[in-house]
């Protein structure tokens, strides 16, 4: 206790609090003065290691610090690298050179971005304080160095071997100093980045081959060495506007003269751009691009122009090649009858070329995706919208494809096949939006052909089964009626059945005469033609589509007659007739005197062939009547749709 005697009554009193306050104030003033010194030294520092050394020199005495580490974050390796150290013996130095985030006290402070302060008791038992403990430290403080944007720059730490802890005031004071240290680090980084940027700019200009020029409107023109090289002018040749114009290609000279003249007018654009050709001494042509800026005086009159010039010959060649490539691409698209389109997700619109507009029956250059959606068949809209999600969220660059039906304004439904490829710009990738390019093709004919092929495959399967039934029926009837010559008669009927197939293949469904077609389909009933089967009609030729459809229908009718109808008994008869009446073609199949007929309970594939397939193939109408007296089938259609144009005659008229 510190005492003092009052002057009036001479009694002693305690002045310890006052002395502590005075000492605290004195320490505060000293620390503030030290802050000014530290700040001044940090401003003058030019290297990161110098920053740490100067900071430690100021704080070591005030804190009794004997150990100091200053780490810098390696942003690539995400590790702390030692840039300044004091008080660590050589045997521990190698382990301290690099720390992982979260390792030891410095790594822990860096990972959490929070200061770490430890006293003697904490250091003695803390698992992360191993290195500090080995150094004999009894008080420790580490601060993360953070940039103004909050990112980690590194750490600064001090340790004392004579203090058991640091006071709150000392910790706060050290935090202020490390804030100054972080600002100094950030300044050095910015200056270093600026130097690197300036050097990069210089190297880029050299690599780009940029030349510059300077012209005052009093008549002085200056060309850089690179500009002279681009113009093909010797270093000693005086620069002049007349020399420049003499080097320019005659077709570009007037345009350059006008460009120069406009630069000297008060109303000219301050930024100018021009491309022109130079004729080199060896006769080669080079394209140059000139970009300039006009400077004016206080009255707005141009007084000086400066600019840069570069060789863009390769760029011009590339433009030419690009145009040629586009022409080749368009030629390929036209040859393949493909249209191209592009979807812009930010504006939700689709644009395409003339063929795209023709296929989708749209007029506008751009159409909202919702309008295109309305054109798609209702059964395909959900698939289109699912594909749109693939467009917008694709993370790969592989192409995709799908098929849709489109309803045109005239009501026609067309099949289209779309191929697309999604690609991202950097900004759009962050928002999950992909621009999409693609092609579209009208595949209606292909789909119809595929449908016909599918139907034909079903028919082949069906006919194979029917043929086995026919062969069985032929064998049964032949063995029953004439067992003594079974082999001969059975072979003849099988050959007739084979002849039917040969006729269809041989004629390739083109120009098939109706009577030949009828007899081929009734080959297994050939012995009944003329007696129980009447075949009547003029010499007419069916085209490929109608021959296929009518032939399949005749086959079904004959098979049905042999199994269940007039030809399944010994008394039934069949009458087959065809002909034309004006522009109308008719053909009929009538059964009588056979077993009673009842309509089938369900429409099988054979009925589809006799009706729907025939109607669709010839654009006509089929009447199929299951009368009890006998089945009848009648086809009526335009003659031009069913027959070969050069191989039919209207009854009573010659070809």
pLDDT digits (tens, 9 = 90+) for 573-596: 999 999 999 899 999 999 999 999
Q: With 90 as the cut, is the pLDDT of residue 297 above it? A: no
DSSP output for 268-304: S-SEEEEEEEEE-TTS-EEEEEEEEEEEE-TTS-EEE
Task: Identify whether residues 367 and 261 lie together within a single domain.
Answer: no
Q: Please check whether residues 222 and 74 belong to one and the same domain.
A: no
Q: Are residues 435 and 460 in the same domain?
A: no
Q: Are 408 and 452 in the same domain?
A: no
Report pLDDT for 273.
Answer: 83
Apex 169 CA angle, 168 and 174, nearest 5: 100
Checking if the pLDDT of 497 tops 60, the result is no
**Of 410, 441, 472, which residue sits at a domain end?**
441
Indicate which CATH number applies to the domain containing 422.
3.30.450.20
Cβ neighbours of residue 99 closer than 8 Å, sequence gap 6 or more = 71, 79, 80, 106, 107, 110
pLDDT confidence tier of residue 115, bands split at 50, 70 and 90: very high
- At 653 the pLDDT is 41
Residue recorded with tokens 């005075």: 22
Find the domain containing 173 and state its range.
16-192
pLDDT confidence bin for 100, thresholds 50/70/90: very high
Q: Give the other-Cβ count within 10 Å of 532's Cβ.
A: 19
Report how far Cα 625 is from the mean position of its chain's Cα atoms.
Answer: 58
Furthest CA-CA distance within the chain: 166
Q: Are 370 and 509 part of one and the same domain? A: no
For residue 155, tell me if it sits in a domain. yes
- How many percent of the chain have pLDDT more than 90? 18
Dist. CA 585–CA 143, nearest whole Å = 101
Return the C-alpha torsion angle 367, 371, 377, 381, nearest 10: 100
Sign of CA dihedral 21, 27, 28, 30: positive
**Residue 402 belongs to a domain:** yes
Please state, in angstroms and rounded to a whole number, the distance separating the CA atoms of residues 556 and 562: 10
Average pLDDT over residues 460-485: 60
| Whether the Cβ atoms of residue 68 and residue 158 lie closer than 8 Å to each other | yes
In this predicted model, what pLDDT tens digit does every residue of 116-172 receive, in sequence order? 999 999 999 988 888 888 888 999 999 999 998 899 999 999 999 998 999 888 888
Burial class (CB in 10 A: 0-12, 13-18, 19+), 191: exposed
Q: Which of 9-13, 80-84, 338-342 has the lowest mean pLDDT?
A: 9-13
Give the chain's length: 655
**Residue 410 pLDDT exceeds 90:** no
Q: Are residues 305 and 386 both part of a single domain?
A: no
Q: Tell whether 565 and 452 lie within a shared domain.
A: yes
Report the distance separating Cα 593 and Cα 604, nearest Å: 25
User: Which is more confident, 590 or 478?
Assistant: 590
| Beta-sheet strand order (sheet of 211-216) | 221-223, 211-216, 302-311, 285-296, 271-279
425 and 298 both lie in a single domain: no
* Spatial contact of 464 and 423, defined as CB atoms under 8 Å apart: no
* CA distances to 85, 94, 445, 516, 584 from 643, in Å: 102, 98, 21, 15, 10
Distances (CA, A) of 278 to 30, 209, 469: 73, 16, 88
pLDDT band at 654 (very low <50, low <70, confident <90, very high): very low
429 and 495 share a domain?
no
Answer yes or no: is pLDDT of 561 > 80. Answer: yes
Tens of pLDDT, residue by residue over 340-385, are 888 887 888 888 888 888 888 888 888 888 888 888 888 888 888 8
The residue whose two tokens read 């970009």 is: 291
Same domain for 224 and 242, yes or no, is: yes
Average pLDDT of the chain is 80
- Lay out the sheet containing 621-627: strands in order across: 533-536, 573-581, 584-592, 630-638, 621-627
Q: What is the pLDDT of residues 234-290, one digit of tens each?
A: 988 888 888 988 999 999 999 988 888 887 777 777 677 888 999 998 888 999 988
Let me know whether 576 and 482 are in one domain.
yes
pLDDT computed for residue 496 by the predictor: 47
Helix (H) or strand (E) holding 176: helix 168-208
Residue 618: is it exposed, middle or buried by C-beta count within 10 angstroms (0-12/13-18/19+)? buried
Q: How confident is the model at residue 471, as a pLDDT?
A: 64
- Same-domain pairing of 485 and 360: no
Q: What is the pLDDT of residue 120?
A: 92
Q: Which residues pair with 84 in a beta bridge?
A: 70
């Amino acid at each position: 206790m510190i005492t003092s005697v009052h002057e009036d009554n001479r009694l002693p009193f305690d002045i310890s609090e006052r002395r502590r306050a005075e000492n605290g104030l004195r320490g505060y003033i000293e620390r503030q003065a030290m802050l000014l010194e530290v700040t001044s030294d940090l401003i003058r520092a030019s290297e990161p290691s110098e920053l740490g050394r100067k900071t430690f020199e100021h704080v070591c005495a005030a804190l009794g610090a004997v150990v100091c580490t200053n780490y810098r974050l390696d942003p690539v390796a995400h590790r702390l690298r030692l840039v300044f150290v004091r008080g660590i013996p050589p045997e521990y130095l190698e382990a301290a050179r690099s720390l992982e985030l979260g390792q030891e006290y410095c790594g822990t402070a860096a990972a959490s971005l929070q200061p770490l302060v430890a006293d003697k008791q904490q250091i003695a038992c803390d698992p992360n304080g191993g290195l500090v403990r080995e150094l004999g430290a009894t008080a420790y403080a580490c601060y993360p160095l953070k940039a103004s944007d909050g990112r980690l720059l590194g750490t600064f730490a001090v340790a004392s071997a004579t203090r058991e802890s640091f006071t709150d005031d000392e910790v706060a004071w050290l935090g202020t100093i490390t804030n100054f240290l972080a600002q100094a680090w950030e300044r050095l980084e910015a200056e270093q980045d600026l130097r690197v940027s300036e050097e990069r700019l210089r190297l880029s200009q050299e690599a780009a081959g940029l030349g510059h020029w300077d012209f005052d409107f009093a008549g002085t023109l200056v060309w850089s060495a690179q500009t002279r090289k681009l113009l093909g002018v010797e270093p000693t040749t005086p620069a002049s506007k007349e020399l420049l114009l003499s080097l320019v290609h005659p077709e570009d000279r007037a345009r350059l003269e006008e460009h120069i003249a406009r630069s000297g007018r008060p109303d000219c654009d301050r930024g100018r751009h021009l491309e022109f050709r130079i004729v080199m001494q060896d006769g080669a042509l080079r394209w140059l691009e000139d970009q300039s800026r006009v400077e004016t005086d206080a009255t707005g009159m141009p007084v000086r122009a400066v600019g840069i010039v570069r060789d863009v010959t390769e760029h011009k060649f590339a433009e030419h090649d690009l145009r040629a490539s586009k022409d080749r691409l368009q030629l390929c698209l036209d040859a393949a009858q493909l249209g191209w389109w592009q979807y812009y997700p930010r504006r939700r619109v689709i644009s395409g070329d003339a063929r795209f507009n023709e296929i989708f029956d749209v007029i506008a250059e751009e159409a909202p995706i919702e309008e295109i959606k309305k054109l798609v068949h209702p059964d395909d809209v959900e698939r289109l919208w699912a594909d749109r999600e693939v467009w917008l969220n694709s993370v790969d660059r592989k192409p995709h494809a799908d098929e849709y039906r489109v309803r045109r304004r005239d009501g026609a439904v067309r099949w289209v096949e779309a191929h697309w490829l999604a690609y991202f710009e950097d900004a759009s990738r962050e928002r999950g939006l992909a621009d999409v390019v693609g092609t579209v093709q009208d595949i209606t004919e292909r789909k119809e052909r595929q449908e016909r092929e599918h139907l034909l495959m079903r028919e082949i399967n069906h006919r194979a089964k029917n043929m086995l039934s026919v062969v069985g029926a032929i064998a049964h009837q032949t063995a029953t009626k004439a067992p003594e010559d079974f082999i001969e008669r059975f072979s003849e009927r099988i050959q007739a059945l084979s002849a039917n197939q040969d006729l269809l293949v041989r004629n390739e469904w083109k120009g098939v005469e109706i009577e030949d077609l009828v007899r081929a389909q009734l080959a297994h009933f050939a012995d009944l033609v003329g007696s129980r089967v009447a075949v009547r009609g003029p010499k007419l030729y069916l085209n490929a589509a109608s021959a296929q459809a009518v032939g399949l229908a005749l086959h079904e009718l004959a098979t049905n007659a042999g199994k269940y109808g007039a030809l399944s008994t010994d008394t039934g008869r069949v009458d087959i007739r065809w002909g034309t009446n004006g522009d109308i073609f008719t053909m009929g199949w009538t059964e009588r005197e056979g077993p009673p007929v009842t309509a089938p309970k369900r429409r099988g594939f054979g009925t589809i062939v006799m009706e729907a397939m025939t109607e669709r193939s010839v654009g006509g109408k089929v009447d199929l009547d299951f009368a009890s007296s006998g089945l009848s089938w009648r086809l009526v259609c335009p003659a031009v749709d069913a027959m070969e144009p050069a191989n039919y005659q209207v009854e009573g008229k010659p070809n």
